[in-house]
Amino acid sequence: MVMNYMLSEEEQMMVETARNIAVEKIKPVREHYDEKEEFPWEIVKEFAQADLCGVYIPEEYGGFGKGIMGLVLVVEELCKVDGAIALSLAATALGTLPILLVGNEEQKKRYLPDIASGKKLAAFGLTEASAGSDATGMATTAVKDGDYYVLNGTKCFITNGGDAETYTIFAKTNPSKGARGISCFIVDKGTPGFEFGKKEKKMGIRASSTRELIFKDCKVHKDNLLGKEGHGLMIAQATLDNSRPGVAAQALGIAAGALDEAVDYARKRVQFGQPIASFQGIQHMLADMATEVEAARALLYASARMIDSGTSKRTSKESAMAKLFCSEVAMKVTTNAVQILGGYGYSREYPVEKMMRDAKITTLYEGTSQIQKNEIALNLIKESAAKAK
């Protein structure tokens, strides 16, 4: 049985809908998309049709209005079956959050309904070749020219790159000001001067596209500036506070899926004349895995509820904790699932090797585990210093 997290009727509805899609629509094709590294458009259509694309978007913009918790529940459920296909939706949320958080009314009305309905996907463009963990190292510039900003530079590793229609892009409007010289823009696919570069070949999450975005004298109207000039880094940080639970949910879903596979296999596989599930060595592994998955879920749901309650101005620490813990658990649990399935676990005939490959990304993007720890520690110290005053 699963623990009772007092999900509302509508939250249960989202879980059920996501599960139906995962089991009926995704499971039969997950290997195909992993092998072929194709973008899962047929599944995106299913997400759209079932209203899953807008679960976190307020109802006034055509969404289902269920906040970060809604996003978390849907992503977790989808990722139990496949940790990559759900990214079309989860990375769209990452790309959409800057608009949701700081967009003006006109921008929200212009962009959110099409994203909520699943007509358009979004992407988030922060990382560059020499600006990974340290976003302030970015070289992309946006120079004001009349009513326009002219963008030049190259973003790399952008999820949904090439497949999304709407991009939130970070660029330096005032390079001399460092962290305070970065701004955020909405850039539409098809804007002259905006092209796509190479697509990454990856270890896991192969159904998700990861591309370079290339800006060459790309003119973006000033109406597409998000928030104020120079507020870009703050917007990125606020976005990550809200989006990291989404990565945590991806990690949790993958871990929970791997745990199910491992238990099921252990009951059926017979060695030395008995099911391997009867060996204490296997039982203790399964017990640890199950306990870690449940602890991860409890921490994640608590963080998501805290964000949605809006009671705390910043939730950097809690989001980072959820992401750190869930992603490290995902790595441990999927590795052990492969161990429990033995040689079969290593074979592509069983889903756990893919789960292990997919899980690894969650300790890397939207800040590596080291960066999450930096964030948590920084906030601990700040909180303690504030108390000491």
Partner 1 sequence: MKIIVCIKQVPNTTDVQIDANTGRLKREGVESIINPYDEYAIEEGVRLKEKFGGKVTVITMGPQQAESSLREAIARGADEAVLVSDKAFGGSDTLATSYTLSSAIKIIGEYDIILCGKQASDGDTAQVGPAIAEMLNIPHVSCVKKIEVVDDNSIKVERMMEDGYDLIESSFPVLFTVVKEINNPRIPSLKGKMAAKKAVIKTFNVDSIGADTKRIGLSGSPTQVVKIFNPPQRTGGEKFVGEAKDVAANLVKRLSDLGII
Ligand X SMILES: Cc1cc2nc3c(=O)[nH]c(=O)nc-3n(C[C@H](O)[C@H](O)[C@H](O)COP(=O)(O)OP(=O)(O)OC[C@H]3O[C@@H](n4cnc5c(N)ncnc54)[C@H](O)[C@@H]3O)c2cc1C
Catalytic residue IDs: 366
Residue 84 interacting with ligand X (CB under 6 A): no
Cα 198 to Cα 213: distance, rounded to the nearest angstrom: 9
Q: Which does 50 bind (CB under 5 to 8 A by kind): ligand X, partner 1, none?
A: partner 1
Q: Where are the alpha helices (DSSP H) in the chain?
A: 9-20, 30-36, 41-49, 67-79, 87-102, 105-116, 232-268, 280-309, 316-346, 352-360, 369-388
Exactly one of 370, 377, 378, 382 binds ligand X (CB under 6 A); that residue is 370
274-275/148-159 β-pairing: unpaired
Q: Which of 232, 105, 91 is nearest to 169 (CA)?
A: 232
Residue 75 interacting with partner 1 (CB under 8 A): no
Binding mask 21-50 for partner 1 (x = CB under 8 A): x--xx--------------------x--xx
Contact between residue 91 and residue 160 where contact means Cβ atoms under 8 Å apart: yes
Token reading at 102: 């700081």
For CA atoms 293, 294, 299, 303, the dihedral sign is positive
Give the CB-side neighbour count of residue 17, counting CA atoms within 13 A.
21
Cα 103 to Cα 277: distance, rounded to the nearest angstrom: 53
Binding mask 99-128 for ligand X (x = CB under 6 A): ------------------------xxxxx-
Residue 210 interacting with ligand X (CB under 6 A): yes
Contact between residue 231 and residue 212 where contact means Cβ atoms under 8 Å apart: no
Please choose, out of 65-73, 152-160, 186-194, 326-334, the segment that lies near ligand X by the rule CB under 6 A: 152-160
Residue 361 interacting with ligand X (CB under 6 A): yes
Of 75 and 205, nearer to partner 1 (C-beta) is: 75
Cα 325 to Cα 295: distance, rounded to the nearest angstrom: 9
Report the residue number whose CB is nearest to ligand X: 132
Of 47 and 64, nearer to ligand X (C-beta) is: 47
Binding mask 169-208 for ligand X (x = CB under 6 A): ---------------------------------x--x---
Chain positions 126 to 145 lying near ligand X, rule: CB under 6 A, are 126-127, 132-133
Binding site for partner 1 (CB under 8 A): 10, 13-14, 17, 20-21, 24-25, 46, 49-52, 55, 64
* Binding interface with ligand X (CB under 6 A): 91, 123-127, 132-133, 157-159, 202, 205, 210, 361, 364-368, 370-371, 374
